[in-house]
Amino acid sequence: MSETYKFDLGTMFRLDGRKALVVGGHGGIGAGIAEALAAYGADVSIASRNMEKLLEAKEKIKEKTGKDVTVYTVDASDEESIKALYDTIIADKGYIDVLVNSQGYNVKHHLTELPKEIMDGMLQVNVVGIAMLCKYFGKQMKERGYGKIINVSSTRGARACLGGNASYCTTKGALDMLTRTAACDLGPEVCVNAIGPTNTVTPMMEDLIKEHPEILHLGDDKPLQRIGTVEDCMGPAVFLASHASDFMTGQIVYADGGMTAIG
């Protein structure tokens, strides 16, 4: 049996010639993903609100990969700011064909004490802003005929937990469904998938771990017997950004050491 493939098996994970934007790109998981995409050949831009931290991440990525990333500020809870980012990037780069949404946060409140403005704020960043980024960049990718969107969700989109996480889990459940519906609206040109990490040691978790060091042991009873590291999201991001995942869309890929496999 002779078969020809669309791409070379030896280079199907390479991202040379790709233009990637990682929103939340100086955060723990975002910076790791930006570094991995750059290491695999992509021209990477990173964006968030804090320029100083973006510049620090740019330096680190340069040290590790030798690649220059471009930095942009954006408030991903504000559609006008997202549109301004879109216009600037299109003027600078021409197009984006890999969009990673790694922005997000969690403020814990028991449901009986949950201030509405806290939940509204999390919904804006963790869900609505991501929908708006998919709207602008997804339209451009669809018109250009190719694109990959990767949303950083969480195991908490599929598994509830104790400890004041009602609003966070709700935003991640909504993000999972946004991922699936965006896959419907943006296909067949654009693939939209999500990565679902479990507890991962990043700046977002640092204060919580100081208060609750037992978090470091939350993976002990899971199949791979540890919690996550940033590195655990890097391979899945390269996979979902590359030709290797061209027939996958609307999926949540769990980087969770088997946590969701066992309930």
Interacting residue with ligand NAP among 45, 200, 242, 245 (CB under 6 A) = 200
Query: Rule CB under 6 A: is residue 257 a binding residue for ligand NAP?
Result: no
Report the alpha-carbon distance of residue 109 to residue 22 in Å, rounded: 29
- Look up residue 250 and give its DSSP letter: S
Which residue's CB atom is positioned nearest to ligand NAP?
A: 27
Query: Rule CB under 6 A: is residue 219 a binding residue for ligand NAP?
Result: no
**146: buried, middle or exposed (CB in 10 Å: 19+, 13-18, 0-12)?**
middle
Report the alpha-carbon distance of residue 182 to residue 22 in Å, rounded: 18
Report the alpha-carbon distance of residue 238 to residue 44 in Å, rounded: 12
Instruction: Tell me which residues are annotated as active site.
Output: 168
Query: Rule CB under 6 A: is residue 61 a binding residue for ligand NAP?
Result: no
Backbone angles phi and psi of 184, in degrees to 5? -65, -45
Quick one: tokens of 44? Answer: 């990477």
Residues 126-185 that bind ligand NAP (CB under 6 A): 152, 154
Nearer to ligand NAP, 15 or 22 (CB): 22
Query: Rule CB under 6 A: is residue 83 a binding residue for ligand NAP?
Result: no
Interacting residue with ligand NAP among 18, 19, 26, 58 (CB under 6 A) = 26
Binding site for ligand NAP (CB under 6 A): 24, 26-30, 48-50, 53, 74-77, 102-105, 125, 152, 154, 197, 199-200, 202-205
